[in-house]
Homo-oligomer: A and B are copies of this chain.
Amino acid sequence: MNGADSLCDTLLANGVDVCFANPGTSEMHFVAALDRKPQMRCVLGLFEGGVTGAADGYARMADRPAATLLHCGPGLANGLANLHNARRARTPMINVVGDHATYHLVHDAPLTSDIESLARPMSQWVGRAERAQDVAPHAAEAYEAAMATPGVSTLILPADAAWGDVAPETQPVVAGPIVKHAVNSAAINAAAAALRSGRRTRLLLGGLALRADALEIAGRIAAATGARLLAPMSNGRIERGAGRVPLERVPYPIDISLVALADIECLVTVGASVPVAFFAYPGKPGRLIPDGAEVVEMGAPGDDLLAALEALADELGATGPAILAKAPEAQNVTDGALTVENLNILLAGAIPENAIVCDESVSSGRQFFAMSQGAPRHDYLQLTGGAIGIGIPLAAGAAVACPDRKVLLLQADGSGMYTCQALWTHARENLDVVTVIFSNRAYAILQGEMRNVGVNHFGENARRMLDIDRPALDWVSLSRGMGVEAGRAETVSAFRKLLTEALSRRGPFLIEAVL
């Protein structure tokens, strides 16, 4: 029995039984140990951004971490962008990053790099198991750290710690129970006072306060006090749809968000931060709420937000029913060319009951959230950290976590290219994901931002950096190249037909919606 075996045992003992992997030579003993543990499900990604994005999607749905297996500093580096998104989504995750044997580092062999420096910006916990006997306790610590806030833990596993012997009777280390911190009553009382004050108050809900149980309580509070419910711009997961409590989201475009939040006199935050502009713009504010607005913080992201909301509702006597989202009238879409508008209507109208919707539609899908408020119940997973290239992996991970649920992925074309390799994982694992590519053949969001900085006529260099036509990407060909069946639609009727077919069967399918 070696350090790698004890790592597998400790992961399994803590309920971590999925490993998204892209291994290399320094991880071969860990691969061999995984091979001795058929109860661990190993899911290969052809690129590490697909690995970490999938681990994010998995944990958002499973509420427990997956492990990742990454190869040295460069392998971790390739996964960092989606670790950044996971960090912003506060997703539990345990990265296992292989490194050279401890005594080999002195040679500065080609793959040597400063893994800790790479890991820290995107991890809330970083550790290195120097010896085989350290591996299991470090892994348990990584698990506890991942579950506590929650967040990303990165465990560096030198090859000699993996292959080194541990005593044959070595037991896995089981982490203690994860206890959520209770929100103090002063904060709850302050929130109650704000909600009773008669001022225009919003309840900004983040993290686990966006699940159906918490939202139901928040909805009762809203009904009792007249406060409006608000979600941050970007969220790991919202449970929503007809029969659930609806809420608005902070808009992305700076001018629209300033208008939307201009009337706030008091903001009660529940596991969320005061909304800020995604980017700075000359002469525009960074905080999106009025300077004079009072802010009451009722709980940090890792706190027991559900209990805090219950206590607040009790305090307010908010026992009456919440206002729930209702199924909308079906919208009639006339046939013709696909547009952003009719595509969003068609998608919002087609969400299957109990689906998981992953949204990396970027600028094209901005209308989708409001349109799908009353769609059949679904989970809604977003790009959280602005690091594009999450969609295809995120959908993969969600599908691994929830094999009985349909995953619908809304994917912008420019962003989708960053981690297109994850389509192969959709095929390899026969995941039940329907991917819709919003194919506008441009970095449309950046074209808008160029206009924001006052450039309305693009020269050759700007066009060559903001268009992704010439040549146009052929997503059907790309998708088939990775083993995922695909079709292209340029009209409403063609799209509707493809979407209906794709949703009515199991397994991965990609639709290129040409805009």
The distance from the CB of A470 to the nearest CB of chain B, in whole angstroms, is 6
Q: Which residues of A contact B (CB under 8 A)?
A: 21, 23-26, 28-29, 31-32, 34-38, 40, 42-44, 46-47, 49, 69, 72-75, 77-78, 80-81, 84, 88, 100-101, 103-104, 106-111, 113-115, 117-118, 120-122, 159-160, 163, 233-234, 273, 276-280, 282, 286-287, 384-387, 389, 414, 417-418, 420-421, 424, 427-428, 443, 445-446, 449-450, 452-455, 458-462, 464-466, 468, 470-483
Give 11 new A-B contacts, CB below 8 A, not counting A25-B278, A104-B279: A25-B279, A31-B461, A35-B462, A42-B465, A46-B468, A47-B417, A77-B81, A103-B286, A108-B276, A111-B278, A474-B480
Beta-carbon contact of A446 and B28 below 8 Å: yes
Q: How many copies does the complex hold?
A: 2
Q: A87: nearest residue on chain B (CB-CB)?
A: B113
**With A78-B78, A450-B31 as contacts: A107 and B481 at CB distance below 8 Å:** no
The distance from the CB of A464 to the nearest CB of chain B, in whole angstroms, is 5
How far is A75 from B84 in the complex, measured between Cα atoms in Å?
Answer: 11
How far is A466 from B34 in the complex, measured between Cα atoms in Å?
Answer: 12
- Among B32, B73, B465, B480, point to the contact of A453 (Cβ < 8 A): B32
Beta-carbon contact of B107 and A276 below 8 Å: yes
Complex interface: chain B residues within 8 A of A24 (CB): 446
How far is A192 from B31 in the complex, measured between Cα atoms in Å?
Answer: 49
Complex interface: chain B residues within 8 A of A428 (CB): 470-471
Beta-carbon contact of A465 and B23 below 8 Å: yes
Complex interface: chain B residues within 8 A of A446 (CB): 23-25, 28, 31
Complex interface: chain B residues within 8 A of A282 (CB): 160, 163
Beta-carbon contact of A111 and B387 below 8 Å: yes
Q: A474: nearest residue on chain B (CB-CB)?
A: B481
How far is A84 from B7 in the complex, measured between Cα atoms in Å?
Answer: 28
A-B contact pairs, 29 of them (CB 8 A): A23-B443, A25-B278, A25-B279, A28-B452, A28-B455, A31-B446, A38-B459, A44-B465, A46-B414, A74-B387, A75-B387, A88-B110, A100-B280, A104-B286, A107-B286, A110-B384, A111-B278, A111-B387, A114-B121, A117-B117, A118-B121, A159-B279, A159-B280, A160-B282, A163-B453, A428-B471, A472-B483, A474-B482, A477-B478
How far is A276 from B88 in the complex, measured between Cα atoms in Å?
Answer: 40
**With A74-B386, A279-B159 as contacts: A42 and B461 at CB distance below 8 Å:** yes
